[in-house]
């Protein structure tokens, strides 16, 4: 459970924004979406390699 202390005179919108930021950092939504379907370890490994290759390609293009 996330606890967001609200200071005296603080705007509720600002507190809500802090809550949302803190909630995003916990990664709860990403974890729930990942658990909806099982992905084989070989597929996750392949996606990891593809992502690394993509990032490397982007870095090479920026240097040129």
pLDDT, tens only, 5-40: 898 899 999 999 999 999 999 999 999 998 999 999
pLDDT at residue 47, as a whole number: 97
> Can you give the residue range of the structural domain that contains 41?
12-63
Q: Tokens 């916990």 label which residue?
A: 26
When pLDDT is cut at 50, 70 and 90, the band that residue 44 belongs to is: very high
Contact residues for 22 (Cβ-Cβ < 8 A; gap 6+): 2, 4
In a domain, 2, yes or no: no
In a domain, 25, yes or no: yes
In a domain, 1, yes or no: no
The whole-angstrom separation of Cα 33 and Cα 19 is: 20
CA 17 to chain centre: 16
Work out how many domains the chain is built from and give that number. 1
């Amino acid at each position: 459970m996330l606890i967001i202390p609200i200071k005296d005179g603080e705007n509720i919108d600002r507190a809500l924004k802090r809550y949302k930021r803190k909630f995003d950092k916990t990664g709860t939504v990403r974890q729930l979406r990942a658990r909806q379907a099982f992905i084989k370890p070989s597929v996750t490994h392949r996606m990891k390699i593809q992502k690394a290759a993509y990032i490397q390609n982007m870095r090479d293009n920026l240097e040129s």
